[in-house]
Amino acid sequence: MNLKVKLFADGAEKAGMLEMYKNPMISGFTTNPTLMKKAGIMHYESFAKDILAVIKDRPISFEVFSDDFSEMEKQAMKIASWGQNVFVKIPITNTKGESSVPLAKTLSDKGVKINVTAIFTPEQVVDVLPALKNSRASNVSIFAGRIADAGVDPLPIMTKVIEMLKPYPQIELIWASPRELFNVVQADMIGCHIITATNDIIKKLPSLGKDLTEFSLDTVKMFYNDAKAAGYTI
Name the nearest CA neighbour of 7 among 202, 209, 206, 161: 202
Confidence bin at 43 (pLDDT 50/70/90): very high
* pLDDT beyond 80 at 1: no
Q: Which pLDDT value is given to residue 2?
A: 86
Q: What is the DSSP letter of 162?
A: H
pLDDT of 113 above 80: yes
Residue 3: CA atoms inside 13 Å, Cβ hemisphere, count? 25
Does residue 89 carry a catalytic annotation? yes
**Residue 167 exposed, middle or buried by CB count within 10 Å (0-12, 13-18, 19+):** exposed
Between CA 34 and CA 27 the distance in angstroms is 22
The rounded distance, in Å, linking the Cα atoms of 50 and 46 is: 6
DSSP 3-state assignment of 195? strand
Query: Could you tell me where the DSSP H helices lie in 22-93?
Result: 33-38, 44-52, 69-80
Domains and their CATH numbers in the chain: 6-206 (3.20.20.70)
Q: Output the pLDDT for position 5.
A: 98
- How high is the pLDDT of residue 234? 95
Average pLDDT, the chain: 97
Catalytic one of 6, 89, 105, 113: 89
Q: What are the C-alpha distances in Å from 234 to residues 168, 224, 226, 227, 231?
A: 64, 14, 15, 11, 10
| Spatial distance between the Cα atoms of 177 and 140, rounded to a whole number of angstroms | 13
Section 78-87 average pLDDT: 98
- What are the backbone angles phi and psi of residue 153, rounded to the nearest 5°? -70, 120
Which pTM does this prediction carry? Answer: 0.94
45-62 pLDDT, tens digit per residue, is 999 999 999 999 999 999
SS3 199: helix
Select from 30, 19, 90 the least CA-distant residue to 58. 30
Q: What percent of the chain has pLDDT over 90?
A: 98
Q: Encode pLDDT of 169-213 as tens digits.
A: 999 999 999 999 999 999 999 999 999 999 999 999 999 999 999
